[in-house]
A and B are shown apart, each in its own frame.
Chain A
Amino acid sequence: MELVFALVIGTLTATGVYLLLRARTFPVVMGLTLLSYGVNLFLFSSGRLATGEQPILGTADSYSDPLPQALVLTAIVIGFAMTAFVVVLSLRNLADNDDDHVDGTQPKQPDIDVQDEEEITGK
């Protein structure tokens, strides 16, 4: 279970960071979402992985820590609100600049023919 869990966190985080570094707002938003999934799972695992254990000290040899679950719940709620905001902001960026590049406009490229430009800006 630990190995699968670690691999899932690693995949989510790596994908999230990769997408975060893209130049368009949609992949960036997706990247932030995946990153927050990875982070939430990581936070959950900080209380150790245990199945079928009680969240009460002293009743059994091992127990499942309820605190990280409370932390994750808070983080999910906050992450959800932030994602909603960043989606709206990205749409505003698209509407204001007619372009969903994260800098508002494409960086100037010297030799570019019209067809390439159409592919880049989507216009």
Chain B
Amino acid sequence: MNHWLTAPILIPLLGGILQTFMGYAPIPLRRTLAVATTVLLVAASFILLSLATDDAYRVYAFGNWQPPFGIVLVLDRLAALMLVMTSVLALFCHIYSLGGADQGNRQFHTLFLFQLMGLNIAFLTGDLFNLFVAFEVLLIASYGLLMHGGGTVRTVPGLHYVVLNLAGSAIFLISVGMIYSVTGTLNMADLAVKVPQVADENLNIVQAGGMMLLVVFALKAAILPLCFWLPKAYGNATAPVAALFAVMTKVGIYAIIRVYLLVFGDNAGPLANLGMDWLFPLALITLAMGVIGALGANNLRSLIAWQVIISVGTLLAPIALGSQAGISAALFYMLSTTWTVGGLFLVANLIAGQRGGAADYIITAPKMHHRRLLGVLFMLGAVAAAGLPPLSGFLGKVLILKSVDSGVPMAWLWGVLLVGSFLTILAYSRAGSIVFWRTIDGHVDARESLSGTTAVAAALLTALSVVIVALANPINAYTEATAAQLLDTSAYLEILKAPMAGEEN
């Protein structure tokens, strides 16, 4: 039992509740408390990260119920990595929102913090039904955030997003019911024990349940047939919200890694590696689709929303192949791409503010102000996202390319990833050169002033790509250890025997 595990859930919960009752308090007070909550959350995530580096599994059992009877939180390297990735991204998005994006809705900070709480529950939980609850918590907060800022442009994509996710929740419940009806448990460790022992006549039920679960996670991760909601929803969201949502697709990827490596992993008997042969081609098609979308984007924000889909495809291909090096490379790339895409969303919003009526459309317009700063930031983000040296996207992609053994999958992955990267570079250079260089005479009307808070938050988030390169060696060592820990599922099963409080020794 380790009570630190509840910190990433309790901190945003308490901070969010406080904000709920402070709707009419002075804005500076609310902002200070909200950002202080996020800073505390970052601190707590780093503490958990330092705890997780000893390769042990830490368990927190609610109500001191021995798993599998109670709900447990489990901290391992993967969960800690996801927590740090989310909280650091959230901190910069939150600081950016202080530049004015948090106005117009008294409950912005509440929703933002509850969103973080939902994400953290999803990363820490060791129970399949609790994962459903976490998804619902983060979704209902995201519905509110997506609609934040008003305007009719957000209504229709918001409606699509909500209806799709409600249908996804229904499928999630059906698959949970199917798996429970055969195995009699929803604890992930216990499932990993029970699934290989499923009798032959019940095998199809579990298999169908497992595949439907993959559909739900694919909807969250925006894999190809289920990704068309994303560009519109993200492209129209308020900038700090869109940047925070860069992590939402990664929740789906996290759930795929967690459930399919642990429950349907190599040791799952007849159900071993369920769905992974479907996932690999779908991942590559998703990547190709994202690149096509990026080439056809007519404004910067939808270009970056398509970049989210490109990174989903890039991440899932090595995960579907399931080698240790591949998972490690995917985790490295996930860290890089999440922060980069988040930074790009913020930079795109700054650019839109400086171009008046032209906003972030990729069209010729009068010269914008601050174009040196914004140009450098956009180039940093684009280089990191497209995967050019020397920034972190390049390292991530090289690691992914190196991780596949020679054979047919290698040919496909190398081909699609390299051609895709090349076309992504084209998309970014076309957008950048039109927006920054191909200007016409005249002056920009209705320009917003560039506030220091937003510029610093966007610049720092984009510059994290440089930090990842500087710390590439320790980060890579960490992700390699994470992949090793994930593939050694027998250690995870030990949490079933974890001593409860009061019965130590």
Residues of A within 8 A of B (CB): 20, 25, 28, 32, 35-36, 39-40, 42-43, 45-48, 67-68, 71, 74-75, 78-79, 81-82, 85-86, 89-90, 92-93, 96-97, 102-104
Contact = CB atoms under 8 A, between A and B. Distances in A.
Contact of A28 (B155, B156, B163, B170): B163
A49 B433 CA distance: 66
Contacts of A89: 143, 147, 155, 158-159, 162
A92 B155 contact: yes
A28 B166 CA distance: 11
A90 B163 CA distance: 10
A9 B147 CA distance: 34
Tell me the interface secondary structure of chain A in the complex: helix
Contact of A86 (B166, B174, B178): B166
Interface residues of B, number: 25
Contacts of B181: 45-48
Contacts of B147: 89, 92
Contacts of A86: 159, 162-163, 166
B177 A68 contact: yes
Interface of B: 129, 133, 136, 140, 143, 147, 152, 155-156, 158-160, 162-163, 166-167, 169-170, 173-174, 176-178, 180-181
Contacts of A78: 133, 136, 169
The 4 closest A-B pairs by CB, nearest first: A46-B181, A46-B177, A96-B152, A104-B156
B226 to A, nearest CB: 15
Contacts of B160: 102
A36 to B, nearest CB: 6
Contacts of A35: 167, 170
Given A28-B163, A35-B167, A82-B169, A42 B174 contact: yes
Contacts of B133: 74, 78
A82 B136 contact: yes
Contacts of A67: 180
A78 B147 CA distance: 20
